[in-house]
Amino acid sequence: MSERQWQQRIAREFDGEAPEGCGGEPGNAEEQAYLERLRQLREGVRNAASTEVIEDAQFRSFMDGIREGIETPRPGHRRLWAYVSLSAAALIVAASTYITYLAVTSDSGTGVGTVVEAYESDIPGATVDSSTSEDGTASVWVTVPERDIQ
């Protein structure tokens, strides 16, 4: 008989499912050790299956523990991260506002635009003119007798 077969036989006998004519205690030490492990397993399952009951006298303490767990805030770093995020967002807004302010006001009101200091052309017969518009944009015109180049 294989090991698996004798273990199944002992388990059936232990559970009371053994066929008639079969039964009794296991013969050798290995079978007896297996039967003892089955008894320990059955006892452990029986103990684990027992349901804890809260009696009426214990209910107030039970609910006080639950209420305390719900009402007491958990210690953590949530507030710290919220403050860090808020500070970072405020810093980004302030920096972008300042940079925008500098970009808008740097050329406004100073009257400084693009200035053409000198111009000349090596094209034979060409004339060169420059002009500045009201918004400070400079243009240089090269006029050739046959066509204009800008």
- Using a cut of 0.85, tell me whether the model's pTM lies above it: no
Dist CA 138 CA 149 (whole Å): 15
Cβ atoms of residues 132 and 114 within 8 Å: yes
For the chain, the structural domain boundaries read 3-49, 116-150
Block mean pLDDT (10 aa), the chain, length 150: 82 77 66 89 82 83 87 76 91 93 69 70 83 81 69
3-state secondary structure (DSSP) of residue 96: helix
